[in-house]
Chain A
Amino acid sequence: MTHVLEISGLVKKFGGLTATDHVSLTVDTGEIHALIGPNGAGKSTLINQICGEIIPNAGHIHLAGREVTRLPPADRVALGLGRTFQITSLLDDMTVRQNLGLAVQAREGGNFHIFDRAAKRAEIWDEVGETLNDTALSPRADIAAADLSHGEKKQLELLMALSQRPRLLLLDEPMAGLGHLESQQMIDSLRAARSDCAMLLVEHDMEAVFALADRISVLVYGRVIAAGTADEIRANPAVREAYLGEEDA
């Protein structure tokens, strides 16, 4: 089986702090790999290195078989990387439809054309219509992103990321701040999307992690202290002590 993402020996230091300490992990085609760990474990730092916003001190990142360790973010997207942010990141002045339209346009190209009319590019708006169809956002299509509820924003961000048709989707706490019903919707959306792309899921919501993940890696103080299937992780004493135990307490 090919690895969509392969991280080996990754190290990132901020002064005296080692935020990423020789991390190695893989995400396979069609897999949802969850990354869990207490606050300050270095999950976001790791995500940002995969995206290219932070350059590691040592180690390698391969995306779809190509070394991307020092590539700028946009080039990684071209190789099939998509992401959502811990704090939802949308184009606030634009409507739901326009947000999705821009995501499709960014993928489709023609972005340097100055004499066309973006609003008349049928290939974009047909696809946006299809994407919105039957989603909870459909009746909200012409509302500015800034005016959406928190849950709707999270949904829109996921749809935008999926519109890029990524091979690997990085999800930075997609459940954060969602109510029970919204979390369930998000889990359903992610489950539906798993046939399209592999995912690296950073999440605190254990229910969601155990519901979705094929494999789980546990990050504590920048190190992967355990990796395995959901059952293996649940049974792992070190994990119980370092992480799950805290939640019970």
Chain B
Amino acid sequence: MKRENIILLVVFVLLALVPFAAEFTGQSSWTKLVGQALIYGMAAASLNFILGYGGMISFGHAAFFGVGGYVVGIMYHHFDAGTAFLGFIPGTDQMLITLPAAVLVAGLAAAVVGALSLRTGGVQFIMITLAFAQMFFFLFISLKTYGGEDGIMVRRTNALPGLDMKDKATLYWVVLGFAAAYYLFLRRLVQSSFGQIIAGIRQNERRMAAMGISTYRYKLYAFILSGMGAGLSGALMVNFLRFASPDMMHWSKSGELMVMVILGGVGTLAGPFIGAGALFTLESMLARYTEHWMLPVGILLLIVVMTSKGGLMALIRKLTGGAK
């Protein structure tokens, strides 16, 4: 077994033991904390695919995170009320339906946003993705049926056959399973033929066009794949916190995802997860002392960006002697 895979397996086992450790030490909040960090890690990793590997700086990624979350919320709302979405789509609380639906709808949203914003580049692209995300944000605020600014309470986590999803540990393991699967998916994706084309486009779009690649189509496909990943993580988050709100797609959430990617390491597989974990740990530690915890986090981000090109991943690589 390769060293990289051994490390992954060890990390996976350690993460799987978190609920036991939490129970043993009486720190029941750990499970919730690590679970959230894993979900944010997935969202950040999905952003990293277009940002780090594809060179598309999307500043509206939280929109797809929120859309995925709202699919779960809205379907639960109709399930609970016994009504139908748009009058003909019945609600459901089955995770095997809500998650694929969330991925699909987020993918559609990304297709629309991507098709329009990828016609631009550079700063315009950043601004247009931001503008789209804010449109989604205000759209969901205006939907009074679904709680408007307050969002939707999901009283019970979606059901998964054979599992007791009310159990906090079970829910955590389901999240961990998705995070691990998503990590492996991304690893395969960046090594695939498509992943190589995307890496080529990041480095030199003009050269790729001269080799016969219609770069727009490839970038759009990457953008959709990325949006689907964000949708999946949003759907998991709503299941995990049992709450969907417009805040999920606020521009500051897009910024937070970007911070996770940059802090952890742009264009690396594990970086976004490490960045999400680091940001969450810092937040929960510093929040105990001051409500202005963003200030020290900001200073830390500055130090990481200025001293280590490549975020925490680069630092880890340096410390472990260049190995993965």
Contact = CB atoms under 8 A, between A and B. Distances in A.
A85 B214 CA distance: 18
Interface string A76-103: 0110001101000111111000100111
A91 B200 contact: yes
B192 A118 contact: yes
Given A89-B206, A92-B203, A102-B200, A116 B193 contact: yes
B58 to A, nearest CB: 19
Counting contact residues on chain B (CB < 8 A from A), the size range is 20 to 34
B213 interface: yes
A103 B194 CA distance: 13
A105 interface: yes
A110 B193 contact: yes
B166 interface: no
Contact of B203 (A72, A91, A101, A106): A91
A117 B200 CA distance: 16
Contacts of A119: 191
A22 interface: no
B82 interface: no
Contacts of B151: none
Interface residues of A, number: 37
A111 interface: yes
Nearest to A119: B191
A114 interface: yes
Given A89-B204, A91-B203, A118 B193 contact: yes
Nearest to A78: B212
Contact of B211 (A75, A102, A112, A115): A102
Contact of A106 (B188, B192, B197, B225): B197
A103 B193 contact: no
Interface string A54-80: 000000000000000000111101100
Interface of A: 51, 72-75, 77-78, 82-83, 85, 89-94, 98, 101-103, 105-107, 110-119, 121, 160-161, 164
Sort A-B residue pairs by CB-CB distance and give the 8 closest, nearest first. Answer: A77-B212, A106-B211, A74-B214, A118-B196, A91-B203, A89-B207, A113-B193, A118-B193
